[in-house]
Amino acid sequence: GWGGNPLAASGGPPQAALSKNRIGIKFFSDTAAQFFPSYARNSEFIDKFMEVMMTYNAYMNELECWKNQDTDYVALSHANLNVDNAYYWRDEAGKLLCGVLDWGGFGASCLGHKLWWYFNCSEFEMLKDDFEHFMTTFVDAYRDSGGPRINAKTLERMVRLTCLQNLSVMVAAVPDCLRQIPEQDWASVKDRKDQRIEENLGGKSGDAAADMFGVTEDLAAEPQLPPDLPRGAVSLLILAQNINLPLLAARSDLASAFRWALQEDVAAQLCGAGVAFAPGQVEVRLLADSAAIPVTVTPSHGLPCHELHRLLSTKQLRWCAGSKLDHLEGFSQVCLSPSWCFFSVGLPSIVAASDELASTTAGSPLEAEGRVARASLNQDLPAVPDEPDFTLPRSLERTGHTPREEEKGHAKKPPRASPKRKAAAKA
């Protein structure tokens, strides 16, 4: 119902997200650098920014589902209570009064999401200093007004994740900024009070983006990636089209030659990106009941696992007719069409390298490295608590997010015939 995707980035194609982020990076680190904190120009922050935003893009819809799954954190409220959606006046006695505009998005949804949209045009230093106070104040006021008792830290996480969503929207809007003020003219824009900004943006400024950078840097908003282990690896999926994979997996000689050819080619494609790889660092598995091929790549010595993850996140692996796979003996017999192809899908994951990979690295320097890793992976780890069961609210069930059960006593309607089928039936 929320658009989660186990095989691909739910926020959109990684290559498109990468391109938008690069445009955003150039804007905040070069074109309009005077508007943003000085650390936004450092390579460390730029690397962090890219990793955070690409990870967020990979799990965007899954995170939206998480934000809305606990109904204690869902309530009816205004969608965007920024200062530009309020108006003020004094009555005859001089008392200050306030009204609210823009009720178009009024509805029931995640409170943490809405809170960020109340904060995002505030001064960052004030937001940084008083952020926890705002959270606890809201939690107490929500409870005092008849709402359930909610956890301030959980609410904070929802706010920070929404900040990343808002930041992805701002990055996509950079071309609009360049249309309003040409790139070569931004150096002459000294601050947000410049008349060209106020006139072009209707009194609004780019302060929201500065707030989001601050949250990313100072409030540690980035998603936590798995720590690098001595023998960590990166896993990805290769999707097969017009290939009979069960038949391929059943023919042991062909399957062995196919796996080795794929290992060699993955290593060669990674070497083409400027990193030295050997076929033994690539594990390829064929599953008889799947249309996807799991692949695990172990990083070369001295290459951090997260760097390999970043490389594979921005590079699609692809094979089609005319490649060397065509020359494998018996391969044509498992092809369902001359237009067969294999290609990587989704965003890779950082994992602990499986023991199966050891069989493909026997006798290589990776074998000794693997013994060290297995010793570290055998340590006792804390149990992961089970997620509480969650039942969707009836309102979501009625709007088509979950399948409806057939009403008792009513037969299922037959599918409606198309005009072509009706004409054929009459003939």
Other residues' Cβ atoms within 10 Å of the Cβ of residue 322: 7
Lowest mean pLDDT among 106-120, 287-301, 340-354, 359-373: 359-373
Q: What is the mean pLDDT of residues 386-391?
A: 46
Could you tell me which residue, 183 or 206, shows the higher pLDDT?
Answer: 183
Residue written as tokens 């065509």?
Answer: 326
Would you state the pLDDT for residue 379?
A: 36
Q: What is the mean pLDDT of residues 118-146?
A: 90
Q: Is the pLDDT of residue 389 over 70?
A: no
Would you state the pLDDT for residue 22?
A: 92
Q: What are phi and psi of 294, to 5 degrees?
A: -70, 135
Would you state the pLDDT for residue 209?
A: 52
Q: What is the mean pLDDT of residues 218-236?
A: 52
Range with top average pLDDT, 195-199, 200-204, 262-266, 369-373: 262-266
Residue type, 41: R
Share of the chain above pLDDT 70, in %: 73
How confident is the model over 162-185, as pLDDT tens digits? 999 999 988 888 888 888 888 999
pLDDT band at 97, cuts 50/70/90?
very high
Residue written as tokens 């594979």?
Answer: 312
Is there a contact between 301 and 324 (Cβ–Cβ < 8 Å)? no
Q: Is the pLDDT of residue 58 over 80?
A: yes
Residue written as tokens 């071309």?
Answer: 175
Would you state the pLDDT for residue 364?
A: 35
User: What's the full length of the chain, in residues?
Assistant: 427
Would you state the pLDDT for residue 74?
A: 93
Can you list the pairs that 298-304 forms with residues at least 24 positions away whose Cβ atoms lie under 8 Å?
298/231, 298/233, 298/353, 298/357, 298/361, 298/366, 299/232, 299/233, 299/234, 300/275, 300/276, 301/365, 301/369, 303/275, 304/228
Among 164, 163, 65, which Cα is nearest to 117's?
Answer: 163
Average pLDDT, the chain: 76
Would you state the pLDDT for residue 418?
A: 61
Quote the pTM value. Answer: 0.51
Q: What are phi and psi of 285, to 5 degrees?
A: -120, 140
- CA–CA dist 207, 205 (Å, integer): 6
How confident is the model over 312-362, as pLDDT tens digits? 877 778 888 888 888 888 898 989 888 888 888 767 777 654 433 333 333
Among 39, 117, 131, 52, which Cα is nearest to 84's?
Answer: 117
Would you state the pLDDT for residue 212?
A: 52
Would you state the pLDDT for residue 402?
A: 38
- Enumerate residues 6+ apart whose C-beta is below 8 A from 124: 207, 210, 211, 214
Angle between helices 207-218 and 43-58 (to 10 degrees): 90
Range with top average pLDDT, 127-131, 208-212, 318-322: 127-131
- Per the structure block, which two tokens stand in for 207? 């302060």
Report the 3 state secondary structure along the chain. CCCCCCCCCCCCCHHHHHHHHHHHHHHHHHHCHHHCCHHHHCHHHHHHHHHHHHHHHHCHHHHHHHHHHCHHHEEEECCCCCHHHEEEEECCCCCEEEEECCCCCCEEEEHHHHHHHHHCCCCHHHHHHHHHHHHHHHHHHHHHCCCCCCCHHHHHHHHHHHHHHHHHHHHHCHHHHHHHCCHHHHHHCCCCCCHHHHHHCCCCCCHHHHHHHHHHHHCCCCCCCCCCCCCEEEEEEEEEECECHHHHHHCHHHHHHHHHHHHHHHHHHHHCCCCCCCHHHEEECCCCCCCEEEEEECCCCCCCHHHHHHHHHCCCCEEECCCHHHHCCCHHHHECCCCCEEEEEEEEEEEECCHHHHHHCCCCHHHHHHHHHHHHHCCCCCCCCCCCCCCCCHHHHHCCCCCCCCCCCCCCCCCCCCHHHHHHHHC
Residue type, 125: E
Is there a contact between 236 and 348 (Cβ–Cβ < 8 Å)? yes
Could you tell me which residue, 414 or 235, shows the higher pLDDT?
Answer: 235
